[in-house]
Structure 1
Amino acid sequence: MFRVLVIDDEPYLRKNIITSIQKANPQFQVIAEAGDGLQALELIKDLQPDVIFLDIRMPLMDGITLLEELQSLSSIPICVILSGYSEFEYAKKALRYQVLDYILKPIHQEKLEILLKEIQERLLSSQLTKQYNYLLHVFRGVSLTIKTEEIHSIFSSFTYFYSVYLSAGSYVCSKNNQFNPIDDFWSNYHLDQLFTRYIQSPHQAWFITGENPNEHFIILGIDTEVPHYLNALTNELLDLSHQLPYPLTVIKGKTSSSLSELKNDLIDLKYASILLTRYGTTSFSSCTEQLTLTLEDIGYSHSQHKILCALNKTHPTIDFLREVNQLFDQCKQKKCPQVLLQTLAKQLLLIVTNNKHSISNEERVDELITNTYCYEDFKSHFGELILELSASPLQENLIDTIADIKTYIDNHFTEQLSLDSISKKFHVSSSYFSVLFKKNYAISPNEYIINKRIEKAKNLLLIFPPLSIKNISNMVGYTDPYYFSRLFKMTSGMTPSNYRAQIFSKE
């Protein structure tokens, strides 16, 4: 609903204008009226309307003077002049103050409808930008570009907020997720269009990318506690999940009745996404759900732990791996939460290394789970990791292979690289080469590729005439320009646009 203030010194004309506006477009609500410019100025400061319709000739303060006074306000409403034929020169003068339009009295209803439609589109675009700014501030700490007192007014059309978490593949638990093959799942499958097909005015949907490109938060602004289309939307997501080459995680959030509640509920939803993501399988759940599965439930009891320790000491590694894979098969059968799989895998590595705790090994488990999303791949790579840790000393001949991998990255970093494709090309475990790469070059493969891409992007930003940020993003290997911009800022301390402006300002 858009808030309107009508200003005219003739009460009868004022009532006619109010009736015409309400008849032309029910989305516009007249919240107040005024008979002179002074009264109108106070109402504008107090009520902060979205639109004002004002006459030019009024007592105490005329319309032109009122427009001049409005220029000092931090937020200026859209202004429409109500004009008579004899006031045409005044109306032209008013246009200097960024007045959107003027309409002649008496008001022509069809022209008013067209004008209100244009105003509605402008306000929706401006309001949506402000709403996204606030939500990105909540999610990522983006600087607010709107005043605090304006926040509630831009969301005032909604009685409730309903949030949904959606991600593809594994929950990203490692910063080395450069090679995640499903970063662009959102754009590939047009999931935003699926949501917007159900969501009609006055409802609104906001799509926020999470910390990683394969996860999204969808926030619905609604007028009922639960959207009536939720079941139909869930069923369509379920149908879509059968077509995907990787698992989908959908977690329904809570219904929030205020922005402060929404902020807390989003924190709960993010925490739930860590606990409720089930590795290797599609799942639909509610953020209030609690998973009670334990290590004992998947067969890793105290007695099994003792058996594994004995096997590790006295039997060939292949026997140990056979027992390990049986545990992973149980995980798959019981649709094990990812956090429980991580815990199990780290416990197994402790057995292999004779209880020698290693942060590096734990990071390798996190990276392996992050960059796989089915048990077959996970078991294969984890088995390679166990074989490598069982061997002593480390295979020095792999140093040459790591050097070859670095050269390959140097020549192909703008392409869609994947951890799996590189490991297969060079016949080496993905987790192992990541550790050796960092050991030899003091930087992870992920960070190395990011640095190469950002340096390339800096050179492309200097080209004139300038390339678009989207084009540069694609040219350096990122399909998502927003993700690219975030990486650029994390690496360079400023956005790509600010970097280009700074360089050109020095010339």
Structure 2
Amino acid sequence: MKFLIVEDEIRIREGIRRLLPKLDPENEIAGEAENGERGLALIQKLRPDVIITDVRMPVMDGLAMLEAAYREGCAAKAIVLSAYSEFEYARSALRLGVTEYLLKPINLADFSCAIERVKQEMERDRKDRPEKIGGLDQVLRNILNGDMELEDEVLDYLKQRFGINRTSAIALLVTYFEEWTEKNRADFLRKIKMILMERPGILYCIQEDEKQREIRLLLYNYRENDNMKRWIQGHFLRENEKVHGAAMGWTEVEDIRLLRENYEAVQQYLEWTIPMGDDVIISYPEILNIQTELCVYPLDIEEQMKAAVCAGDQEKTKKCLKRFQRYFQDKKLYSPQNIKDCYARFCWNMIHFLKEAGSLSDEDIDQRELLDLITRAKTWQGLEDAVTELLRERKDTRNPIDNLNVRRAVAMIHEFYRTGITLDEIAARLGITPEYLGTQFHQEMGINFSAYVRKFRIEKAKKLLLGTDMKLYEIAAQAGYMDAKYFSRVFKAETGMLPAEYRKTHK
């Protein structure tokens, strides 16, 4: 046991120093101090097993020193010496969890018994240690999550219980799933266990973390020439063995104290699966040597997408989206952050365009959530999910029209708006009076017939202004206005700017 003696009376301090080795040759004097302040500094530096301290000392007393030490996480046993028998001192010592409280002058028999009781208590703690620290899975999980410091006690436990020395080789394979499902989890675990069966002597630990969407495989105490990385890559990178929609990272350490640091680095660099593809396991620290090129945003593809959306051409829209995705998968290597910036810009511009075109409202999509999807993505699937979410939100979410006459009237407006269809014409087709239809329309839609037709035409014109290069008179005709000047006046009354100004501002 390592002892620290904190006592301001040099005669008592020297007596304890000479006595301890006589009681047990394995008793080691780690250090001595003449006051609590110096004692606290030595506790932090030497980390003794047992602290023998006086109560009343200059600068800082013994109980204040112990309280400060225990507050900082000190686990040492303490024997308190005092020339005072006041109950308040004893009570304070017990509150701190002091193991023994002895009165001066020290009786040799009492001191010897106190040391023996401390030794027995430490032995009980040692036996209880596996239960307190946990099994290997829990220890490694706590290390990776930053919930456990690798103090000597933990290192000794790993060595004695599992044969893992501080310098043992440990390999870590981290697999992140964009979509955590029971099927993905079960299939991957089955695959890992089948691979491990090839090497029955290998020592390993498998961890699942649903919150992080990760499955972690830790391999340890293997031989240097086993080449674990090549063995793992050989299995997971075969065409029929690839894990789609997942990012895989690898690191190896020869000092367990670096395990958490390397794990956090692997998590950070998993997004390199995006530019490098799912046929690569991201290896740290090798990934630090990768050289990339600057990616130029494909503005032409964005313009084609806008035109396809304006035309309502779903097939062309899908093709533009595929082309946008393939743009980043050519022979050049771009950084994942560069690619994500382009995706964010594309989504932001499309949201702005769709809102201006009247196809999207603020309630239809959460822009912050969309940006979060892009930021979190570690695979192409993650980025594609973000764009799919944007396109999915473009579905018409307006309240359904309950009134059959109004529903049929709206359908006719959408079909014949270019020809200048009137309320009278629609009422005649429905076999009801214009007055009755006008009243029902206003009650159901919250807007009168002519205002609805005007707004619908202007929304169509907006899409054409932003998504095409058509001339103004052509857009006017497409929106149902034969006179381009009259169209411009109506457009300004509705939007606050002329068509040309609107196109220049928003395109």
- After TM superposition, the score normalised by the length of structure 1 is 0.42
* Greater relative contact order structure (CA < 8 Å, 6+ sep): 1
Q: TM-score, normalised by structure 2?
A: 0.42
